[in-house]
Structure 1
C-alpha cells in the first residue's frame, strides 16, 4: 500500500516522515489545512487509500496511542478537506490531478447558475429593456449596448444552466502552475484546455464538449452582420459562423488578467475572425489595450445585454476583467431566472 502511495522504493513506514520532511513540519503541524493539501499534491493518490497506511506508519514508527490518534485525525481531516483533489463516484475515486501538473477537475456537485427560490438575489438596478446603441472602440472593435432584450438574456441563461449542470458542464479551471482561475467555465463545440492552451474534443476528465446550440450561432451571425452595417465596412469586422463558445461565470469577486485569445487555428487568427462576447448579469469593468500593462489599458463597462465584438486589426488585443460590480444586474432578469450574483459571459469564435 505504502509503496503504491509514495512510489517504488519507498518503505511502508515513510509516508508521514517523507511529507513532513519535505515541508519542514512535525506530525501535529502537518495536520493543519496547508499540510493536508500539500499531502494531496505530493501523493497523487485517492484519499481513501491513506487510512491503513497512516495506521501502519503510526504503529511501526511511533508505537504509541498518541501518534495513532494523530494519524487517524489526520486521515479524517484529509477526507474532510481533500475533496478538491479527489472525488468519489460509486465507491471509486476519480482523479483529475495530473502528476507533474495542476488539477483540472470537475466539482463533486455541479455548479448551478440558478439560486434556490428561497434565497433570492439583490439588485438596485430596475431597468428592463432599453434602446440599443453602439460605440466603436477601435478598428474592428465595437460595443453593441443593450443589444439583447431581457427575454433573450433569460433564454441564454436557461441554455447555459441546462448544459452547465450536465456532463461537460461548469468546472473551475486550474493552470499548470496550480493557480485556479477565478471563475467557473464550460466549453461548447470544442474544449479549451488552460493547461495546454489548446483546443481538444475532450476535457481532461474524458468528457466531450457539449455541442454549440443553434440559437447562439444565429445570434452571433446576426450581430456581426449588424456590426458591419454600423461600421459601413466588411473589412473591419470579418463575418464568421462560430464553432466554439467558452462560457465563464464570474462571482462578484471574480476577475481575469489581461491576455490574448490566440489559441484558435492559424487560419482563423490570420483572417482576424472576431471574438463575440456576450454579457449577462452583473456589470464588469473590462480592460483592453495593446500590451499587458494594466496602467496603459483602456476601460469600458460591460452591462447585462451588451455584446462586445473584436476582430480584424483588434483581434489580438490584450483584454481582461478587472472587477464585477455587485447588485448591477437588471431586476427583471433576476426575477425571471434567479441568476446567482455575478456575471455570465459567453465568448464565441471560429476555431
Structure 2
C-alpha cells in the first residue's frame, strides 16, 4: 500500500488491499451473490449497463419509480450481512464511528459505465461513502458539488479504496469506462465495485 492521494477532496488509497486480500474478498462476495444474485436496475431511460446486488440492512434500487433504498432484494429476500472483510476496510479508512448499513455491489462487464451522479439518498452526510475496486481498471471521474465545471480522472486499479467524505461527500462522480481484461483477479474479466454507505 502506498500513501493516500487527495484529488478534489476524494481520498484515494492505492493498493489498500494486496492480492491475497482481494482474492479472499472475492470469495466472500461470491457467497453473498449466491444468496442475493446480481440484477439489472432500470432507470426512466432504460436498463443500466451495470449489474447490482447488495449486503447489509439496505440495498439500493432503481426502477421506473426512481432511486431508493430497499430492505429486500428484488426476489423478496433480505440482503445478506456485510462480510467482516468489508467492515474491516470501512474501519481502516472511514474515520466514522458508525458502521455501514449498505454495501452496494456493482459489477461492470465489458462496455459498462456509470454516469456522473451524487450519492444523496442517505440521511447522514457526515458519514463518508467508501468505494473498493476489484478486478479490471476503472477510469474514475471526480466532479464538483454542483453539476458542471472542471473534472479530474484517475485509473483505479484492483485493491484501490476511495473515501468520499467532507467536501467530496456530495460531489458528482462516475466511471467512464473499464479497461476490460487488465486484471487477472476475475477469471472472466470485469470489475467489481463496492460502495459502503450509512443510510439512516
Provide TM-score, normalisation by structure 1: 0.53
Give the Å deviation of 1:239. 4.8
SS in 2 for 1:162: helix
* Aligned match for 2:51, one of 168, 184, 191: 184
* Structure 1 residue 223, shift from structure 2 partner: 2.3
Match of 1:244 in 2: 102
Q: Which residue is equivalent to 1:60?
A: none
Structure 2 unmatched runs, 5+? none
- The CA deviation at 1:202 is 1.7
2:131 maps to which of 277, 284, 297: 277
What residue number does 1:296 align with? 150
2:121 is the alignment partner of 1:263: yes
Task: Provide the C-alpha distance between the structure 2 equivalents of 1:201 and 1:310, rounded to a whole number of angstroms.
Answer: 24
Higher helix share: 1
Q: How many residues align?
A: 195
Return the TM-score normalized by structure 2: 0.90
Rounded Cα–Cα distance in structure 2 between residues aligned with 1:244 and 1:342 = 22
Report whether the alignment pairs 1:253 with 2:111: yes
Contact 1:132 1:146 in 2 (8 A): yes
Which residue does 1:215 correspond to in 2? 85
Q: Which has more strand, going by share of residues?
A: 2
**What is the deviation of 1:275?**
0.6
**How far apart, CA to CA, are the structure 1 residues paired with 2:139 and 2:97?**
27
C-alpha displacement at 1:197, in angstroms? 1.7
Quote how far apart the aligned CAs of 1:161 are: 1.2
Q: Please give the secondary structure, in 2, of the residue aligned with 1:242.
A: coil
List per-residue Cα deviations over 1:267-300 (Å, max 9, x = no partner). Answer: x12x2x111100011001111111444x732111
Q: Among 112, 124, 142, which residue is 2:11 paired with?
A: 142
Secondary structure, aligned partner of 1:133? coil
Task: Answer yes or no: is the 8 Å Cα contact 2:50–2:106 preserved in 1.
Answer: yes
1:253 offset after TM fit, Å?
A: 0.6
Aligned to 2:34: 165
Partner of 1:322: 176
| Distance in 2 between residues matched to 1:204 and 1:280, nearest whole Å | 25
2:23 to 132, 154, 157: 154
Report the Cα offset of residue 326 of structure 1: 2.0
* Match in the other structure for 1:205: 75
- Secondary structure at the counterpart of residue 192 of structure 2: strand
Measure how far apart 1:204 and its partner are.
3.7
Secondary structure of the 1:192 match is: strand
Aligned equivalents of 1:253, 1:243: Cα separation in 2: 30
Report SS of the residue matched to 2:100.
coil
- Kindly name which structure, 1 or 2, has the bigger radius of gyration based on alpha carbons: 1
